[in-house]
Amino acid sequence: MGDITLTFSGGRTGLTQEALEQRLQAAAPLLAEVLAGEAQHRDNLGWFSVDEAAGPERVDFLLEQAARVRDDADAFVVIGIGGSNQAARAVVKALRPENGPAILWAGNTISACETARLLKELDGYQSVYIDCIAKNFETLEPGISFRVLRRYLEQRYGQAEAAKRIFATGTPGSTLHQLCIDNGYTFLTFPERIGGRYSVGSDVGLFPMAVAGVDVKALVQGMRDMRDELRAAPAGENLALRYACLRKWMLEQGLSLEMLAFFEPRLDYFAKWWIQLFAESEGKDGTGLYPVVSSNSEDLHSIGQFIQQGSPILFETFVTVRARDASVVLPATDKKDYFDYLTGRDFWDINDTARRATMRAHSEGGIPCLELSIPAIDAHTLGELFYFFLFSCYLSCRLVGVNPFNQPGVESYKGYMFKNLGKPGAK
């Protein structure tokens, strides 16, 4: 196994290493089928090889386009929702690259207040660029936000100059593509064979990251390295199959929630990406684990009580970061605040102690705990993590018996909404 590891304690489910081994062996044929490339999911596997959508030439092209924006922009607005913005936002928020334009997020809300606030905020920047990301350009949030932001740019810079500042990422042949052709906007590709939540390693995720200054080559290499590891590892040692089998076991024991827990708030938006991936992929046909998050230590002071002693409905997956990548030492003081027992101790160690204590208390309380240990929060590791979770999610859905790539359940509210808004053809 590589530098990401997954260990577990079975808690009240009583899962043993032997029982897990048996499950892994029983799932070996499924792993082989998935690795061979399943014909039934051919239209949704454009992400699987990594290189189909993020080969070296494509990444170089995206870096060139991003350099043009970085040379001139001091604000870049990413318009998109769900799979169209989550991965880029996860990375930008986790790595906080410096020396690039401010990255702002739009098209992920229809709140009038948020939209007005964004427009006001943009007035404070000299040079604004935008990228509207939408697979088929039918989703309401990015659709109407794009119109508002196009108009904003046209009023501010004039038609011709605005066009140079507008990027759009969509499916070739879509109405968004036509809009680009008609108006001279730069068009990037949302690959046909990749659904939103699987799109991190394509123009969708990589272009905004590149504009922000993320080392996208390292991120894509991380995806490739994890791909190679998961292709090479037999069932008994396969990290993704292990995670998928553990999740299935928990579901079978009557648990209904998986809680992703971590002690680095930099991962908050990564966790939102993870929630979407598993909720939309697995939550269907009356089954699936409901993905929730505990961003610690803050959330221990709100939901910690429930986790420890509330209804026994969840298991936890702790993401542990091994790198000691920052240091703040508690100084001495002559004021009596009664924290002298920590004088000279590093926040990093105190945080790590809190993590260990939490895992111990929760395990001893009977909560099944998985630990996904990662070397660092950097572009390469995030690439590995993305691919690991994508592959695991695919396997997990196949084990549970649901289609990993559709989301029929999100259509019913849209039907009512579109009808009430008077969309032509809405029933």
- Which positions are annotated as active-site residues? 280, 301, 414
Q: List binders of ligand PA5 among 52-91 (CB under 6 A).
A: 81-84
**Contact stretch for ligand PA5 (CB under 6 A) within 8-16, 58-66, 195-203, 384-392:** 195-203
Q: List binders of ligand PA5 among 134-163 (CB under 6 A).
A: 134-136, 139, 142
Shorter beta-carbon distance to ligand PA5: residue 108 or 186: 108
Rule CB under 6 A: choose which of 197, 247, 248, 398 binds ligand PA5. Answer: 197
Shorter beta-carbon distance to ligand PA5: residue 270 or 315: 270
Does the footprint of ligand PA5 cover residue 283 (CB under 6 A)? no
Does the footprint of ligand PA5 cover residue 202 (CB under 6 A)? no
Does the footprint of ligand PA5 cover residue 200 (CB under 6 A)? no
Tell me, residue by residue from 107 to 136, as one string, x for binding to ligand PA5 by CB under 6 A and - for no binding.
---------------------------xxx
Residue 87 to residue 405: CA distance in whole angstroms: 17
- Angle at Cα 391 formed by Cα 318 and Cα 272, nearest 5°? 50
List Cα–Cα distances, 85 to 68, 78, 90, 162, 295, in angstroms.
21, 7, 9, 22, 21
Does the footprint of ligand PA5 cover residue 196 (CB under 6 A)? yes
Helices and strands per DSSP (H, E), number in the chain: 17, 10
Residue 134 to residue 107: CA distance in whole angstroms: 10
Shorter beta-carbon distance to ligand PA5: residue 82 or 368: 82
Cis bond before residue 297 (omega within 30° of 0): yes
- Angle at Cα 400 formed by Cα 395 and Cα 405, nearest 5°? 60
Does the footprint of ligand PA5 cover residue 101 (CB under 6 A)? no
Shorter beta-carbon distance to ligand PA5: residue 24 or 194: 194
CB of 195 to ligand PA5, least distance (A): 4
Give the relative orientation of helices 28-36 and 17-26 as an angle to the nearest 10 degrees: 40
Shorter beta-carbon distance to ligand PA5: residue 195 or 213: 195
User: What is the torsion angle, in degrees rounded to the nearest 10, for the CA atoms of residue 163, residue 165, residue 169 and residue 174?
Assistant: -10
Tell me, residue by residue from 397 to 426, as one string, x for binding to ligand PA5 by CB under 6 A and - for no binding.
----------x-------------------
Tell me, residue by residue from 354 to 393, as one string, x for binding to ligand PA5 by CB under 6 A and - for no binding.
----------------------------------------
- How many chain residues interact with ligand PA5 (CB under 6 A)? 14
Q: Residue 187 is which amino acid?
A: F
Tokens in use for 259? 């809680």
Rule CB under 6 A: choose which of 203, 225, 229, 280 binds ligand PA5. Answer: 280
DSSP label of 202: S
The residue sitting closest to ligand PA5, measured at its beta carbon, is 196
Shorter beta-carbon distance to ligand PA5: residue 80 or 213: 80
CB of 221 to ligand PA5, least distance (A): 24
Residue 88 to residue 270: CA distance in whole angstroms: 9
Cβ–Cβ under 8 Å, residues 154 and 166: no
Shorter beta-carbon distance to ligand PA5: residue 81 or 219: 81
**Host H or E run for residue 30:** helix 28-36
**Contact stretch for ligand PA5 (CB under 6 A) within 193-201, 209-217, 301-309, 355-363:** 193-201
Cβ–Cβ under 8 Å, residues 37 and 45: yes
Full strand arrangement of the beta sheet holding 257-262 = 5-9, 369-374, 314-321, 257-262, 290-295
CB of 193 to ligand PA5, least distance (A): 13
CB of 284 to ligand PA5, least distance (A): 13
Q: Residue 200 is which amino acid?
A: V
Q: Which residues contact 102 (CB under 8 A, 6 or more apart)?
A: 74, 75, 76, 125
**Contact stretch for ligand PA5 (CB under 6 A) within 189-197, 232-240, 284-292, 366-374:** 189-197
The dihedrals phi and psi of 27, each to the nearest 5 degrees, come to -90, 0
CB of 111 to ligand PA5, least distance (A): 17
Q: What are the residues binding ligand PA5 (CB under 6 A)?
A: 81-84, 134-136, 139, 142, 195-197, 280, 407
